[in-house]
Structure 1
Amino acid sequence: MAIEKAATLGKAPPAAEDTSLLGFYADMNVGERRTFWNCAAGWALDGMDFLIYPLVIGTVMALWNITAGQAGLVATATLLASAVGGWLAGYLADRIGRVLTLQITIVWFSFFSLLCAFVQDYNQLLIVRTLLGLGFGGEWAVGAILMGEMVRPQYRGRAVGSVQSGWAVGWGAAVLLQAICFSIFPAEVAWRYMFAVGALPAVLIFFVRRYVEEPEIAATSRARRAQSGDHPALTEIFTGPYLRTTLLASFMMCGAQGSYYAMSTWVPRFLTTERGLTLVGSTGYLATLIVGSFVGYLTGAWLADRIGRRKLFLTFSLGAIAMILLYMKAPLPTGAFWLLGLPLGFFSTGFFSGIGPFLTELFPTRLRGSGQGFCYNFGRGMGALFPALVGVMADHTSLANAITVFAVAAYAIFFLTAFAFPETRGKVLDAEA
């Protein structure tokens, strides 16, 4: 009777489980572990590729004599394109499969990352980074769905959240790459080498991903739809009972994405212009931010299963607001920012570990790709406006003021919309849904 009741409520029946952070990993088979590591590597490459541009933004501005607003527009255009790419990739994942769609996105963004190394002016960079965004947006969405469908409900938060920590690894790789390239080559060409190197591992990951299997629940659902001819429409997530969920989740993701991109795009520039650090000298300060982010991702992954998705979102968004205000506005010596990077990175990104499993649990299997792909990447698209807005505002006030205004506003949106959703922890996914 208890099992039937749990199933009726869409929750996993009570079972003994390992509550440690990596408890899920011991229960995985070889195929599941292969999926885990490949998704983590893919997100690391996503992070490295995107964050190369914020690290070279000052060099590009000086080289081509462009304004902060123009420089921010490149980041914004990349993210706007990723919103479209993520939605389309999610829809394709529902139609042709998760794994095949993932391979397509990897090839796409690796090619355009390499092309960035050869652009000759601002307009070319803007176009190529915009095209890169189409694949960049799809890779996260499909990887999150793959992991969410593969792992058991009681482990979903930790598994997907641990994969999310790959973004911090990619961020660290980008900073290390910056230190190496700008130490060896003149600034005028060092940024080109960064883009070129950033593309190579993505191509290798494409071949590895061929050995990742389609989740059974997704394959079963797609086979049933093929037999019945009941294929989901691209716009079905905006109809009937799905409309409210889609709109609220999309607005929530605007807050999550806008806050992160407002900060990550401009903090490297903030350290060099308003804190007087050199480009290479800022590496250590960014390193503490990245270490804090990595620890935040892993802690958020553990808390997503321990206290639930909703409490994770509320706690970390409040912590992020407090740390942004302290980091940007407190009259502290520059050396203090080396230490403050740890809690700033921890709170400003740790909640992302709960977003992947949360969105996976919001939509039925037949619409999961479309729903998750649209909501997360709509947030990216709207959040994409924040780097450009920060850049425009920074032309009229300090960069610290501009980052603070937009980052705090976005975290507040994320905090408020978290109240609108029920807790989804432990939800059992159904191939027939």
Structure 2
Amino acid sequence: MNMPVHHAPGKSSQKMSRTQINILVIVTLAWIFDAFDYLMLTYIAVDIMKEFDVTAAVFGTVTSITVLARLIGGALVGTVADKWGRRIPLIVSMIWYGIFQFVSGFSPTFTFLYAVRFLFGLGMGSMYSVGVPLLMESVPPNKRGLASGLLEIGFPAGGILASLLYLGIYSTGSWREMFYIAAVPPILLGIYTMLTLKETKNWIKQETEQHGIDKVPLVNLFVGKQFWNTIHSILVNAGFLVLFYSICSWYPTFLKVEHHFTVTMISIVTILLNLSAVIGSIIFGYFSDRIGRRWTITISALGSMIGAPLFVMLHNNILLYIGAIIVGFFGPGGVWSINATYTAEHFPIRMRSAGHGLTYNAGNFFGGMLTPVIIGLLSGTYGFGTVMTVGVLSSAAFLILMTWIWKETKDMDMSL
């Protein structure tokens, strides 16, 4: 499956301009606020299940329907962004998911919550499918890995915000108030983006040369040489997402149900995990521009495999804390540090948003939609810890395999 890569021109000492830094800040904050809401749901899952009288397996379908919506939103809005530019779809997606975060707090029934989370997912999938190509087309080639690592701190940073909110108000508030608070930042960020962000030069150049990009429909992602790029990107993203959801989707519930942790203890452990993930994402993102995407994924996946049993299966609290730090550093940190750039590097500019939106969210559909449900179903028989560990080990091994049957992409020219 190894295919030629167009190498990016320019010097390795290129620095980021003020405009490029602004784009990095906008997209990273959008991902942080996105993750803030998405991961917040894991903290309040038990109480929502109690209020609406649903099982863990049924509640897991809320995550699954959100993932399905992300696939639909990412593919459709990604196609729109390839035709008419990245800026407007990015702004709309942030305001959209902020609105439905707020509405989630008013849910009178589980069915209503289910429907609103689907609508939220449309905006969440759209944001990532547009924001990542926008960022990767803007930053210097020698900074793409670092930019990806900084962007991917979004999920652990969002997890930290969710932990702090859970610790700060949940004992005196309710799960509904957490949704209300989470809704404000993305709406404000959408307004700021509207005032400060311009369309990317690479997209404008491509649009001018091609006289519009509507000549490339979504189906062309599966035509000719692009077919294997698309399939590989789906498979790799499925591996990324199985690993992520095996670690994060039920972890607060696991600590509460199997270890009987208090709100404070749950917050401390998850903050440790997410802080180590932030550090890991920056470090591995930086070094991926030097050692390449293959070795970055391989080293971090191996680290996840080593730390996984310590992460969930031992009942010694100190070892549990250490395991959370190790797996956070290598899993949501190291493995995820290059997801953004590695996926974007699979596609030419004329179909990059559509390709990124479809393949990331298709991988998320298989990895993210099924994993929480499977863990929820099997937890009653085998326990959360065992099922989560198996998920980490299998997905990490799969990622190593998929990385080494593919080309190294760190020097790809993103202007083509």
TM over 0.5: yes
More divergent stretch after superposition (123-132 vs 398-407)? 398-407
Give 1:230 deviation, angstroms: 5.5
Q: Deviations over 1:138-188 (max 9, x none)?
A: 111211111100011111111222122132221111111111221322xxx
| Cα distance between partner residues in 2 of 1:372 and 1:182 | 36
More divergent stretch after superposition (229-238 vs 63-72)? 229-238
Q: Deviations over 1:173-219 (max 9, x none)?
A: 1111111221322xxxx110001100111110001111112110111
Paired residue for 1:3?
A: none
Which one of 369, 391, 407 corresponds to residue 376 of structure 2? 391
| Cα distance between partner residues in 2 of 1:125 and 1:196 | 14
Which one of 202, 207, 220 corresponds to residue 205 of structure 2? 220
| Cα distance between partner residues in 2 of 1:280 and 1:68 | 23
Which one of 401, 405, 411 corresponds to residue 420 of structure 1? 405
Paired residue for 1:355?
A: 339
| Cα distance between partner residues in 1 of 2:390 and 2:298 | 19
Give 1:378 deviation, angstroms: 0.7
Q: Deviations over 1:5-48 (max 9, x none)?
A: xxx9622457352xxxxxx7xx2222222111111111111110
Residue 372 of structure 2 aligns to which amino acid in structure 1? P
| Cα distance between partner residues in 2 of 1:324 and 1:88 | 36
Q: Deviations over 1:236-260 (max 9, x none)?
A: 1011111111111101110101210
Paired residue for 2:414?
A: 429
Percent same amino acid among aligned pairs? Answer: 26
| Cα distance between partner residues in 1 of 2:199 and 2:9 | 25
1:276 aligns with 2:260: yes
**Does structure 1 retain, via aligned residues, the 8 Å contact 2:16–2:140?**
no
| Cα distance between partner residues in 1 of 2:295 and 2:12 | 23
Paired residue for 1:257?
A: 241
| Cα distance between partner residues in 2 of 1:36 and 1:363 | 20
| Cα distance between partner residues in 2 of 1:158 and 1:302 | 4
| Cα distance between partner residues in 1 of 2:235 and 2:156 | 24
Paired residue for 2:66?
A: 78
| Cα distance between partner residues in 1 of 2:281 and 2:289 | 13
Runs of 4+ in 1 over 4 A off after TM superposition: none
Return 5+ residue gaps in structure 1 as ranges.
Answer: 1-7, 18-23
Residue 70 of structure 2 aligns to which amino acid in structure 1? S
**3-state SS, counterpart of residue 260 of structure 2:** coil
**3-state SS, counterpart of residue 119 of structure 1:** coil
Task: Write the mapping of 1:114-125 to structure 2, written as runs, cut at 5 A.
Answer: 114-125=102-113
Paired residue for 1:29?
A: 17
Return 5+ residue gaps in structure 2 as ranges.
Answer: none
Residue 6 of structure 2 aligns to which amino acid in structure 1? G
| Cα distance between partner residues in 2 of 1:44 and 1:153 | 24
Which one of 317, 320, 327 corresponds to residue 304 of structure 2? 320
| Cα distance between partner residues in 2 of 1:259 and 1:224 | 40
Paired residue for 2:276?
A: 292
Q: 1:279 to 1:14 in 2, by over 3 A?
A: same
**Does structure 1 retain, via aligned residues, the 8 Å contact 2:145–2:341?**
yes
**3-state SS, counterpart of residue 95 of structure 1:** helix
CA RMSD of aligned residues (A): 1.7
1:335 aligns with 2:323: no
Task: Write the mapping of 1:204-243 to structure 2, written as runs, cut at 5 A.
Answer: 204-210=188-194, 211-226=196-211, 231-243=215-227
